[in-house]
Structure 1
Amino acid sequence: MSANDEFQAEVQRNIEAAGQDQGLKQRSLDWMLEAGGKYRYSYNFSWLGRPIIQYPQDIVAMQELVWAVQPELIIETGIAHGGSLILFASLLELNAACGGPSDARVLGIDIDIRQHNREAIEAHPMCRRIDMIQGSSIAPEVVEQVRQAARGKRVLVSLDSNHTHAHVLAELQAYAPLVSPGSYCVVFDTVVEDTPDELQAGRPWGKGNSPKSAVREYLTSHPEFQVDERMDNKLLISVAPEGYLKRV
């Protein structure tokens, strides 16, 4: 066994052991809920100058997936400040520099792209790899535009817009079929299902009406997707538990 093989075997043992440690998993969730609830933890980071509103662990996880999949198109629902669009565009730029697809692009969809955010995204050097659509991600005309853009491409999908069960399920039905075999549909904020109601006051989503409940319903009739439990066990701290869906 080579030194690299030995290292990877050790990594796998570490991840498997962490996945079996229920106390560690609970402490990780407790820490997330306290940090997120009190200090809006995910709001405190940026990527190449734009607020990203993601946990660092999930940022690293997406980097691993983008490198492994080498997508020609990344579809993201939910734009906000544009940090994730810039993240994906910069990762595609790195892929291209290392021999990956030279013309890979990111397509962002949001029902309301605020003008100041659009201007900041369009002024960013990474914007040369970014396209944006303003409209509901589940509107038939928007879905059709995305399908046309995805035709014939190796696709990775990130869903991070409205977090209600019905909306996420409709997004899964629209965009998961575009995911290439071996690639991923990542459903963010599945942790809503695990968050106490008092931390979600005033939100239209919550327990039983969340991205995770939508994922679970979708998977009952779509065996071509599986939860990447190894990713969950590796991250421990993530807003997307059970949300890293691999197309097999």
Structure 2
Amino acid sequence: MNEDAIQLFMNARRQRVESYKESQMKKVAEEFMRTSIMPGYSYNFDWLGRPIIQYPQDMAAMQELIWKVKPDLILETGIAHGGSLIFSASMLALLEYCDAAEKGELLDPGNPIRRVLGIDIDIREHNRAAIEAHPMAGRIQMIQGSSVDAEVIQKVHAVAKEFSRILVCLDSMHTHDHVLAELEAYAPLVSPGSYCMVFDTIVEDLPEDFFSNRPWAKGNNPKTAVHEFLKTHREFEIDKEIEHKLLITVAPDGYLKRVE
């Protein structure tokens, strides 16, 4: 495929994605999201043997962004069963494999360069054991503690200073104050051109009583935190093209690109 044909393909894709914004597809996707969350649809999927608790569409977007950004470090808040850590680690392993292949070198799996750092207030022992026993474990470091605790933030920044290109995923407690504190703590680590992904911003778009048994709700959630954060952080902007392309996503307005 020559460059002209590739450009034509990409132009057609952009036009197609643009057409989704006000389409019947968007309405159908919104209805699917409303009806799929409470039955626990996102709990149905694994990545390399570990539950990932993400919608496949967001997993696809994460893959595209990791390939595009080529981070040295992926920082994640919220660990649960560890599927997302394994996902990120496997993508970083692929990046290193491709780097080595381009140079005509052999990849040394015992000396990983790119890393994943996960933070959770409660890393359950059975999950920790499964993550540490996984083939991707050599790329993963975990910190137990609140992601907004000053000591934890200090530890994370100490790790991050060893890396030059960083991507961040926020997916722990979904209240406004907690996510805003995470953004203030970790978004500055994001490299220009890289992303801070804020999950479960969809809470703001769901009915009032949808999360009656949770501390987050309409008006108090990751999306409200994102919009508050962006008021004073012009170095970030929402990459709307991602959610327009996905249609089905738990992170509307949650894909934040650092533009400066």
Counterpart position of 2:225 = 214
Instruction: State the partner residue of 1:77.
Output: 77
Work out which of the two has the higher radius of gyration on C-alpha atoms and give 1 or 2. Answer: 2
> Which runs of no fewer than 5 residues in structure 1 stay unpaired?
none
Paired position in structure 1 for 2:188:
177
Residue-by-residue CA offset, 1:55-114 (whole Å, 9 max, x unaligned): 000000000000000000000000000000000000000000000795000000000000
One-letter amino acid matched to 2:236: F
Q: How does 1:6-155 map to 2 (within 5 A)?
A: 6-21=8-23, 23-37=24-38, 39-99=39-99, 103-151=113-161, 152-155=163-166
Q: Aligned partners of 1:153 and 1:133: how far apart in 2?
A: 20
CA distance in 2, matches of 1:26, 1:7: 26
Encode CA deviations 1:32-74: one digit per residue, 9 max, x unaligned.
110122x210000010000000000000000000000000000
Q: Does 1:194 align with 2:205?
A: yes
Pairing 1:4–2:6 present:
yes
Pairwise CA distance, 1:26: 2.8
Query: How many residues in Structure 1 have an aligned counterpart in Structure 2?
Result: 246
Cα separation, 1, equivalents of 2:96 and 2:184: 30
TM-score, normalization: structure 1? Answer: 0.96
State the AA in 1 paired with 2:17. I
Q: Which blocks of at least 5 consecutive residues in structure 2 are unaligned?
A: 101-106
TM-fit CA distance, 1:199: 2.3
Which has the larger helix fraction? 1
Superposition deviation, residue 20 in structure 1:
3.5
Percent of pairs with identical residues: 59
> Structure 1 segments of 4 or more deviating over 6 A?
none
Could you tell me how far 1:127 is from its partner in structure 2? 0.6
TM-score (norm 2): 0.92
